[in-house]
Chain A
Amino acid sequence: MQQTERKRVPAGEDPLVIGGRAYRSRLLVGTGKYRDFEHTRTAIEASGAEIVTVAIRRTNIGQNPNEPSLLDVLPPERYTILPNTAGCFTAADAVRTLRLARELLDGHDLVKLEVLGDRDTLYPNMPETLKAAEQLVKEGFKVMVYCADDPIQARALEELGCVAVMPLASLIGSGMGILNPWNLSIIIDRAKVPVIVDAGVGTASDAAIAMELGCDGVLMNTAIAAAGDPVRMADAMSMAVTAGREAFLAGRMPRKFYAASPSSPTTGLIG
């Protein structure tokens, strides 16, 4: 799809800085659940994302090894590949997965840690997440960490040395939107590292609300991949993240219970 021309934040003006590197896009996207690589590629291109998550899995032995792979369509020279630990339920499995990822990506050290606690909710297991984060930081990884929307856990992860905290908006894949904006606001208010909402975004307004709250970015997968038209939704999400960020930077008007200040003059009325 041809990207429509629109005003974008120029490079360098309001960058998202993670682990010492600056990014223009505040939308981070996953690469799962697409019908094929061509759909993955076009949707991710439309999203404008520079950071894309991938999963690490066993090779399918017996399958033709010359078939194209995900990294052929999303070359690491163009995208910052963020290997994740989705599917890991223990700190040990998560650490092992990311060591393999670092080898796979030639020493690349920016990673997404998620340690799940439950197959039905995919809610994070915070004790195991903290244990894995500590080990990974010790091994030199730059850890972006999926976590509960709990200000105390988020702070603990920051204190361990994680480069970004990524609280859920609602359950992974649920599309339920931001269920606890007040907790997110406390996390944002206190964090010195970027706060990125990860999981639960369902549609463009959810992404805009996250950014208006002051989140530094939004990470999503299913909201785009499971949309009726993923390319169109990717573009919508890109605009929503930009709109939400701009509104946050502009500073919204205060909320008023009564409309005590009409927008039109109160004098010169006819009659």
Chain B
Amino acid sequence: MSEIMVNGAARQVPGGWRVADLVDALGYAGKRIAVELNGEIVPRGRYGEVSLAARDQVEIVVAVGGG
């Protein structure tokens, strides 16, 4: 297991996980979200290729009401 940060909170994930595994585990598969890994955008089409490593900082965002 490795510890990563997801939206500011620590989370243990199995070694070898890719972004797609995290997105699936959180129930976001097929949802309109955007993912940033260590400050860089991860395009939707690349979730299956990009690996997660210990100390990674992941941000997952959605659109919410705002002015």
Contact = CB atoms under 8 A, between A and B. Distances in A.
B43 A103 contact: yes
Nearest to A103: B34
Interface string B34-67: 1110010101100000000000000111111111
- Interface residue range, chain B: 20 to 34
A55 B65 contact: yes
Given A59-B7, A96-B36, A103-B43, A69 B63 contact: yes
B6 A61 contact: yes
Given A59-B28, A65-B26, A100-B34, A33 B59 contact: no
Given A56-B61, A100-B41, A69 B31 contact: yes
Interface residues of A, number: 38
A31 B66 contact: yes
B33 interface: yes
Interface stretch (A9-17, A81-89, A252-260): A81-89
Contacts of B44: 103
7 contacts: A30-B66, A32-B65, A56-B61, A61-B6, A70-B65, A103-B44, A104-B61
Given A55-B66, A58-B7, A104-B62, 10 more contacts: A30-B65, A32-B67, A33-B65, A59-B61, A69-B63, A86-B66, A99-B36, A99-B41, A104-B63, A220-B67
